[in-house]
Structure 1
């Protein structure tokens, strides 16, 4: 009687399905045949891989256990932290998560991307894809369209960032051929990752309800949502959210606020600013005949760039509204803030010059008040001294009038005292 065939289990983490394969159909190398079941390797938050790639394999105890193919679990602390970071990213740009397997960080250095993501957003032909890390450093990789993965260049990125198995990466497609990559370390479960701290420090995301409810189809980076309350003085482009700039426009080509665009890292970020801030910023740029943000650091977060512009306008308005009663501490804070913006490439030198002039005048006013107060105190002390001097002079005059005592000498008085004491009764 033939021995009852034993069934090993091949577990794939793509969609959580377990596919049973007869032991007799296992290949000689011990690898189970790829089941022809549709969507077995369906991506789930980017956790997928081509089954032909090397994965962690372990043999079961005994001769009939077969082979179990493991993929990274989705319930690790690193993965949960990665989901938190992903939730803080702009929903206008597509993202996916990727847990690192041994094949990603050692050996072949091949990174398979989610096929569904590639079908929706990635180029249809082989091309160069740039990976930008959290410091703004760019790494070029080769994207293979048919294989839906990154090959040449990925090894350098992996080694440069010391990627380890079970690390989780968030890929943020900020441009058609550029990913911004956030790394969540698996061995730092007790500490917050830098990416999470950075994104949470930006505060709440300014997303309109319409933009949040809008469902993207294909490579849509901005929702074409109109805002009736902003149509009067702004163009349709201003209401369309963050998008790629179609061309490079110099400030000389700007003829009015209608065609004024705020472009940072190739992205139009007008929608990140209120209509008031945008109009005031246009006026400020006109006063200097240039885009004040033209030289902001490359790779600067768009929300941070919008925050710099917004705070620059707030400080400019505060400077205009300042007067002699404005606290000197406020002037110092504005000065420090503008100098910080200047180090990041914002053209605020004219504001710093004006602020420096105001601070010098305020310092002179402060010194004038101090000198005036000190002089008043000195005048009061002089009056007190003059009164004391008068009193002393009066005392001297009174004593001078006692002539009988004034003309006697102490020795003579002592002699008279002794003679009188010794005189007979």
Structure 2
């Protein structure tokens, strides 16, 4: 999608030869920003410089008797036509490209400076849904755009006054949200929200595909086979139109069934949909792993309505706990190591006053955390009276003890904590 912007009639400033104009450009388009309507053959040109003052200032120049150069690090470039037009190409225009663009031209018969004040606009992205939390039903309509959109409602009843608010995100886009309370037993099939037309930018935009929308969090143990329920709403297959599971994890895919169409599954692993006789529509995830973390959206449409449920799925792994003894410099050290997700917390139980253990943690490529705790034992202390414990994690695992310590040939962990050269660090006798 491209746009060629011609230079309109100029408003001359007080300085002769200096002109300025305003341009409003749609986000996502490729723009050809014309310097001026004055056509100058290349044979009569001395130089042309585009000075760009946006989120990052840069310049592009061509000189008839010198090398051309650009300091712009994106894909902006100059275009010179055979007809004598000198333009700037801005591919995939974004809000960060807003700014002041100055075209400085010198040729045999004179010169001029053209300043173009460039602003961005973004066509509204319009969505809507229904909310019901045990009370009245609300229809929600949301438009993201630039400038801020104006929303109004069309209904077959006298509506209450909607509640509307707006915000602006870091990228410069405005989000306008309008909430309308529906009368009891009102059908949302007779409901439309509208984004008002914006002169010279977009036409009036309607939205009327309202569905109930919900979200929840699920934390799943690694290695288990999961039946992820779409929602508690039960819908007989005879009433169903379609169900789509949209999976956004390490690899995006989707699974769908429709009563009047072929089923689809683009997932390359063993994920599949399960439909029960009771009207539940679930996703089966066998051998759940950390890479399966992500957002799972169930989009359902049936004769009486529809809903969209988004499930934020995270993984947890029960601690794998091991321990051993190491001997260095005549001192004994007990090492305890737990691999888990989230990161585990280790403490020690002894029959003597212990020194402060040395502990660190790391995370491997698979997303598992390893916590290692190293405790120096007093001289002649019995390892039979020693236990390391992984603290309980609410809703995930109970407290886990380890007390079968044996010597291990390696002494690399103790050396890491207590030995850096010819002198032992923090090592004390009994």
In terms of fraction of residues, the more helix-rich structure is 1
Q: TM-score range by the shorter chain?
A: under 0.3
TM-score of the pair, normalised by structure 2: 0.20
Larger radius of gyration: 1
